[in-house]
């Protein structure tokens, strides 16, 4: 029953949040225009959503596109810009994803959308994270975010799938606000963002 109400809840809250955060949204755009190169403000990338359906996630761009002599992108920590570090630390880079929620590709709460290349690496248990829409924040994010192992992330994701409820979503929203103010779990132990998933 809640799954149907959740769609309305997501759209309503996302619209209200976007209107409230519009001044912040515009401010970040101006800062990125002033400090960035080639006017690149947004970062878009294909991600798998519910049932593995591919969509384009949108975030504020926090890294440059510098490459090595072989044409490969440099590691995240070498591409993260100064303004990008601040935007990531304050989670402002996630604001554009409210548009993904309004479009219906994402939910406010759910497993984070990962890379399409991971789909073939999941075992049957891990694939269950795609039984619901991906979220801007989720149970794994309020329980460690990038600071926990992939194994733990997937356990939290699937636990959410099995226990999704209105009260749980409210709890995750509250804990997310708390995490944002504390700037917890933004980086993994060995990376400026999150280490790549390499399978089981």
The overall pTM is greater than 0.75: yes
- Residue 38 in contact with residue 31, Cβ under 8 Å? no
Angle between helix 82-89 and 2-35 (nearest 10): 160
Report residue 48 as tokens. Answer: 């798998």
Q: Where are the alpha helices (DSSP H) in the chain?
A: 2-35, 76-79, 82-89, 97-103, 124-127, 150-163, 166-182
Mean pLDDT, 10 residues at a time, over the chain (200 residues)?
Answer: 87 95 94 76 94 96 81 79 85 94 96 96 96 96 88 96 95 91 59 72
Answer whether 42's CB lies under 8 Å from 58's CB: yes
């Amino acid at each position: 029953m809640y799954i149907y109400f959740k769609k309305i809840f997501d759209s309503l809250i996302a619209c209200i949040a976007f209107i409230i955060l519009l001044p912040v949204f515009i401010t970040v755009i101006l800062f990125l225009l002033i400090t960035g190169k080639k006017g690149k403000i947004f970062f878009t990338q294909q991600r798998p959503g519910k049932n593995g359906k591919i969509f384009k996630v949108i975030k504020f761009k926090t890294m440059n596109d510098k490459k090595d002599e072989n044409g490969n992108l440099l590691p995240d920590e070498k591409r993260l810009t100064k303004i990008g570090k601040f935007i990531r630390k304050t989670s402002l880079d996630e604001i554009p994803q409210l548009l993904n929620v309004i479009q219906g590709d994402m939910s406010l709460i759910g497993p984070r959308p990962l890379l399409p290349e991971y789909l073939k690496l999941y075992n049957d248990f891990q694939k269950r994270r795609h039984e619901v829409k991906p979220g801007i924040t989720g149970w794994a994010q309020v329980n460690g975010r990038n600071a926990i192992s992939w194994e733990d992330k997937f356990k939290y994701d699937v636990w959410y799938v099995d226990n999704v409820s209105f009260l749980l979503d409210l709890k995750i929203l509250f804990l997310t606000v708390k995490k944002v103010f504390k700037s917890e779990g933004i980086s993994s132990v060995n990376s400026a963002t999150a280490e790549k998933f390499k399978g089981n």
